[in-house]
Amino acid sequence: MRYKKMKAWLHQCPGEIPQGIAAPCEMAEYELNNAFPESAWTIRVVPEMKDGYRIRQENGSWVLTGGDTGVLYGAYAMIRKYYSGQPAPAAEESAPRYALRMINCWDNADGTVERGYSGRSLFFEGGHFAYDSGRMRELGRLLASVGLNVLCINNVNVHDPAQLLLEDYLPEAAELAAILRPFGVRLMFSVDYSQPMRHGITTADPLDPAVRKWWKDTAARVWEAIPDLAGFLVKADSEGRPGPFTYGRNHAEGANMLAEAVKPYGGVVVWRCFVYNCRQDWRDLETDRPKAAYEHYAYLDGQFSDNVILQVKHGPFDFQVREPLSPLLLAMKKTNLAMELQLAQEYTGHQIDLYTMAPMWKELFEEMPSGNIMSIAAVSNLGRDENYTGHPLAAVNLYTFGLLAWNPDMDMETSVSEWIRLTYSLSEKDTGDLQRVLLSSRRIYEKYTAPLGIGWMVTPHDHYGPNPSGYEYDLWGTYHKADRNAVGIDRTEHGTGYLLQYPEDFRIKYEKPETCPDLMLLFYHRLPYTFRMKDGRTMIQRIYDDHFEGLEETEKMAAVIRSIPFPEPDFSCIVRRMDMQLRNAREWCDIINTFFHRLSGIDDEKGRKIYL
Amino acid sequence: MRYKKMKAWLHQCPGEIPQGIAAPCEMAEYELNNAFPESAWTIRVVPEMKDGYRIRQENGSWVLTGGDTGVLYGAYAMIRKYYSGQPAPAAEESAPRYALRMINCWDNADGTVERGYSGRSLFFEGGHFAYDSGRMRELGRLLASVGLNVLCINNVNVHDPAQLLLEDYLPEAAELAAILRPFGVRLMFSVDYSQPMRHGITTADPLDPAVRKWWKDTAARVWEAIPDLAGFLVKADSEGRPGPFTYGRNHAEGANMLAEAVKPYGGVVVWRCFVYNCRQDWRDLETDRPKAAYEHYAYLDGQFSDNVILQVKHGPFDFQVREPLSPLLLAMKKTNLAMELQLAQEYTGHQIDLYTMAPMWKELFEEMPSGNIMSIAAVSNLGRDENYTGHPLAAVNLYTFGLLAWNPDMDMETSVSEWIRLTYSLSEKDTGDLQRVLLSSRRIYEKYTAPLGIGWMVTPHDHYGPNPSGYEYDLWGTYHKADRNAVGIDRTEHGTGYLLQYPEDFRIKYEKPETCPDLMLLFYHRLPYTFRMKDGRTMIQRIYDDHFEGLEETEKMAAVIRSIPFPEPDFSCIVRRMDMQLRNAREWCDIINTFFHRLSGIDDEKGRKIYL
């Protein structure tokens, strides 16, 4: 197959990536020589440094010291600086904050991608592995270049025949692992908790000896084929998936059984904490879905094996535009935690609307004490599209996620600007314009969609476009209860008590409507439309203002985007999606305003058009 | 294949239907001898009597006189009376009111059925014909036994490769026509108006000579294969289908071109009048979808060829539980009209909820002057399920539709009772109970669903279950505009003017809220929740009362249904669906009440539970 120029950052790296390279330190050498043919490099591998690296100039030549993977990350750090036009540092030293920096692909064996907006699966088609090995090497380079080191290739909802990754498909999985190994990228598999039952065992009870033996035998077989497999990812007892609850076991018992099986090989069990009653009745006012994860896990703190990682979604709901930090991330001090983000724009515009996530992530980390988590994961936004992410500009989220996973204190303005310079050759003005557009895009999207932390006013199932009451009378536990007087759920101690799951400083910040930050107001409180915001506006007026502003700002953003000379095919792709976003923003603005106007009967003070 | 006992009415008829019979009059003789082996029958065919028949006793033997098909209908009339336990008449004479009594199947070549709730297609699978010829003969008997004489076998939305009915699949279609011919059932095909363009012609313009020639040649070929084909059914310029509007031609020009092509063979063109702007913007208050059919067709009255039949849906929307008679059915005195009903329970419970249609039909005919239509059609509720109609009791709608199509003055109590007796052997009490349940089922369904003629508060696309604002901000032109004060659309002269499309007596009946029949109130008027109904209740109280009553009556109906000893597998099937209906009725009741309570803030006067 003829090599086509890579359609993502680092497309400046010349030539195809050779196939003969086995170890990350060799890849580091190749990439450095490739990028800096005129410079002299000395690479010193110090295994104890692991992912860390140190760069120095000694006698006019460069010395790069680090672990086997560390030198590769150091090499890419230099290469990114170079191709983005930044000066080479006199010296640099770095190590990642988090051990596992993971991408979770929700790819199905049939080639579809759950919540995928970038085409079909990069790995699978028709129930089998089907990948382009050249693209896999590109993918390895992309991931390694921003420090990402674990790739879970299959959906956490393990649909038949994806369970065969542990069985018939293992030899092919090992081939893919070998392609990614020189990039320091280790595979991970999502596993089906009930898989022993496909093998004549009548139970999947984690305390059953036959089940334990099956998983131990399986782990031995799997790690023999892929000795550096990172581990297993598990969605258990969640949205219809099987799990330990079926057998009256708790999730520590459930996870520890798997952990014991994978421990001899250095594997981890990443156990997702996305457990809630997805059959909640809308008439049930006692249950409050955001409380579910804490209730299911917090009491188990300290009971999980040391190679279990609980992977917790960043917020208590499900990847909404604005959610508070999950209380579970603040509650389990004696447990290995990973935070789960979502690059796939499930609720945030389907990679049609611009939505740069770094500002949201920075806010999350501001509220989380350092050291609370030991790993970080993000649901993939990758697919078979030429540009990998559907929308060319959505690649900024993968890029900056890598930098965040390495160091959550990263500067987001610099990171976004770096990605732009690595991806496009634009003027300084256009680069600045694009950076500002990207960094403002999340707030703009938030303004024209569900207001003030309510979330969920989306088209059911599809999750693109407005539907103010789409989930209101449904099963999923996501209600706003808007009536003619008021809107929102009281989640303070006077209401569902959700806020009581937090430490005191957090509670104080949010417990009173008068002092609660505006953008989280209707997440925590039920308030009349006439409630006075801190700036003196009524809440309903604030909703109208935000929506009209969100639409206006989208229009301005569209004008900026159209003025930037992106190369083709990116320009056409970006402008086409921008047109779709404009339509979407108008629908959201008009529908949300009409919805609340019909309920409240209160007119816009500025007399703007609200439809009947 | 082993003959299995027919799972529908007339299962008492012994033995398989023989394959050697060619003509309806021979079938009449076979069926009579089969049913009445001890009686002597004389059959006299008088071709001019067509579908009509006359039965007399002469010297102790029976004489049946009629057209070739008429004697068959006479035979089945006797057989139905006999097996339902009614006394044989001393003499009977009958002829159908409508020439074409049509079933429109929305079956796709891939085996799916659009809006089908009875399993897959009876005719197609995997892009090809695939039918059981024994079942086709059963189907012929079922249709003929209630006087139905035209079967359009493919969906009006002609999805590839169903257009091949006119081409590659024609020989197989002719075989099916031959199976149904002895039952007096003639096939009809839905055609794709743009089909000439699949054959190198660059247009489908009805005035283009090449297009006209293509259709003439095609008609010649098609009628050569099936000389008694009834005609073509066309959905043009509707919901994305191609049509004459593309070429700036009106629908008379469009239909007459096809009519000219099929005329030499006695064929008709049935032209559906389901034309409206399905891309209407919800913000557009000028457009009112119910006005569309009249606006598109009424001015063309007198311009259609005499073998064109305009097929008009019974109401101006789309098969809602309650709609007024379409104004188009009252407006075109110089045009052949057919009324279109829908047996498939698209908006009326998916053949899960009980919904006997005869009461609705009788109301429609009460408002329509005799002689306004010359034919009648119904969208099929048939499928591959053993019982043909998914819900065993849904068969009553096919049965009574046949009787209605023969004579709209038919007595519905008698017809329903006759169907029960032909289908089940129940006690007199159970027969009476079931008859009452069936005849009350439509009003009960109406009570727990969208109130007072509003319609449309269904789950979008799927159309089962409640979603009060599911279509409210969408494209389809079906809005209620409920706000905190009022609900409904003013369709009088003070509003959209829809009511002006009607004759004066009709206008007077509906134009004032004070005198408009309650159940149509919110179809024609926008009214405050505090509006006083004729009985003194407020409109909102009436909505609450109807919904609580609808649920209570469903519960009572369920108790009656469970007490009736239906044979298996019907009993299990009926009870399972009744349980689903109960859940559906509860969801509807609670959601509609909560929706209006949130808007109005007005409590139920009787203090019943309305959820927050």
Reported as a single tens digit per residue, the pLDDT across B459-494 is 999 999 999 999 999 999 999 999 999 999 999 999
Task: For residue B531, give the DSSP letter.
Answer: P
* Chain A to chain B Cβ contacts (< 8 Å): 54
Is the preceding peptide bond at B161 cis, omega within 30 degrees of 0? yes
Question: How many CB atoms neighbour CB A3 within 10 A?
Answer: 10
| β-strand partners of A538 | A532
Vertex B124 angle, CA B122 and B129, to 5°: 120
- Of the candidates B467, B485, B598, which has its C-beta nearest A483's C-beta? B598
B282 CB neighbours in chain A (<8 A) are: 611
Give the nearest chain A residue to B602 (CA atoms).
A484
Sign of CA dihedral B324, B330, B331, B336: positive
Of B285, B485, B590, the CB nearest to A283: B590
One-letter amino acid for residue B85 of the chain: G
Which residue's structure tokens are 């089945």?
B76
Contacts of A597 in chain B (CB under 8 A): 483
Beta strand residue intervals within B167-292, DSSP E: 186-191, 231-234, 268-272
**CA A115/CA B284 separation, integer angstroms:** 33
Cβ <8 Å between B283 and A482: no
Give the model's pLDDT for residue B75. 97
Check A594 against B473: CB less than 8 A apart: yes
Partner-chain contact A283 B466, CB within 8 Å: no
Q: Which residues contact A523 (CB under 8 A, 6 or more apart)?
A: A322, A323, A324, A452, A453, A454, A455, A488, A491
Chain A residue numbers with beta carbons less than 8 Å from the beta carbon of B612 are: 285, 481, 483
Give A532's strand partners. Answer: A538
CB contact under 8 A, B483 and A611: no
**Residue contact B482–A598, C-beta within 8 A:** yes
For residue A590, the chain B residues in CB contact (below 8 A) are 283
Closest in A481, A587, A598 to B483, CB measured: A598
Whole-angstrom Cα distance, residue B304 to residue B152?
A: 22
Beta strand A337-342 with A268-272 is: unpaired
Structure letter (DSSP) for residue A5: P
Region A102-111: mean pLDDT is 98
In the predicted model, is pLDDT for residue A4 greater than 80? Answer: no
d(CA A26, CA A20): 10
Active-site residue, from A31, A138, A288, A318? A318
pLDDT for B85-141, tens place per residue? Answer: 999 888 999 999 999 999 999 999 999 999 999 999 999 999 999 999 999 999 999
Q: What is the pLDDT of residue B4?
A: 54
Say if residue B519's pLDDT is above 80: yes
How close B240 comes to chain A (CA, Å)? 21
Q: What is the pLDDT of residue A3?
A: 39
pLDDT for the residue A240: 81
Catalytic residues of B, by residue number, are: 239, 318, 346
A566: Cβ contacts below 8 Å, ≥ 6 apart? A392, A424, A574
pLDDT of residue A422: 96
What average pLDDT does range B375-379 have in this prediction? 98
Contacts B473 to A, Cβ<8 Å: 466-468, 587, 591, 594-595
The whole-angstrom separation of Cα B199 and Cα B163 is 12
- A11-20, A543-552, B291-300, B422-431 — which is least confidently predicted? A11-20
Strands A61-66 and A91-94, how do they pair? Answer: unpaired
Q: Which residue numbers of A have CB closer than 8 Å to B's CBs? A: 282-283, 285, 466-469, 473, 481-485, 587, 590-591, 594-595, 597-601, 611-612
CA distance A29 to A41: 8
- Report residue A127 as tokens: 């129930």
Give the residue from A147, A564, A177, A567 showing the smallest Cα distance to A386.
Answer: A567
Q: Which residues of B touch A484 (CB under 8 A)?
A: 484, 598-601
Of B590, B591, B601, the CB nearest to A484: B601
Which DSSP category does A88 fall into? Answer: P
List of residues 6+ apart from A558 with CB closer than 8 A = A578, A579, A581, A582
The verdict on a CB contact (< 8 Å) between B484 and A587 is: no
CB-based contacts of A536, cutoff 8 Å, min separation 6: none
pLDDT 10s digits, A268-288: 999 999 888 888 899 999 999
Does the beta-carbon distance from A473 to B484 stay under 8 Å?
no
Contact assessment for residue A119 and residue A384, using Cβ atoms and an 8 Å cutoff: yes
CB A132 within 8 A of CB A124: no
Q: Which residue among A346, A353, A433, A490 is the active-site one?
A: A346
Is the pLDDT reported for residue A75 higher than 80? yes
Report the alpha-carbon distance of residue A440 to residue A418 in Å, rounded.
Answer: 17
pLDDT bucket at B3, cuts 50 / 70 / 90: very low
Q: What distance separates the 2 farthest-apart alpha carbons in chain B? A: 76
> For residues B271 and B259, what is the distance between their CA atoms, to the nearest angstrom?
10
For residue B5, the model assigns a pLDDT of: 66
**pLDDT, tens digit (0-9, with 9 covering 90-100), for B166-182:** 999 999 999 999 999 99
Chain A positions touching B595 (Cβ under 8 A) are 473
Q: In DSSP terms, which residues pair with B187 in a beta bridge?
A: B151
For residue B476, CA distances in Å to A275, B278, B281, B461 come to 38, 5, 8, 11
Query: Distance from A87 to chain B by nearest Cα, in Å?
Result: 54
Q: Return the beta strands (E) in A174-213 as ranges.
A: 186-191
Of A466, A484, A587, the CB nearest to B598: A484
Residue of chain B whose alpha carbon sits nearest to that of A595 = B483
Chain B partners of A283 at a C-beta cutoff of 8 Å? 590, 611
Which of the residues A461, A467, A602 would you substitute to probe the B interface, choosing the one with the greatest number of B C-beta atoms within 10 Å? A467
Three-class SS string for B334-376? CCCEEEEEECCCCCCCCCCCCCCCHHHHHHHHHHCCCCCCCEE
User: In this complex, do B484 and A481 lie within 8 Å of one another by their Cβ atoms?
Assistant: no
Q: Would you state the torsion angle of the CA atoms of residues B213, B187, B100, B231, taken in this order, to the nearest 10 degrees?
A: 0
Range of lowest pLDDT (B279-283, B354-358, B571-575): B279-283
ipTM above 0.90, yes or no: yes
pLDDT in tens, B537-590: 999 999 999 999 999 999 999 999 999 999 999 999 999 999 999 999 999 999
A134 CB burial (10 A radius; 0-12, 13-18, 19+)? middle
Q: What percent of chain A has pLDDT over 70?
A: 99
Cβ-nearest to A484 among B469, B599, B611: B599
The residue-averaged pLDDT of B193-209 equals: 96
Q: Which candidate, A545, A541, A544, A523, places its Cα nearest to that of A531?
A: A541
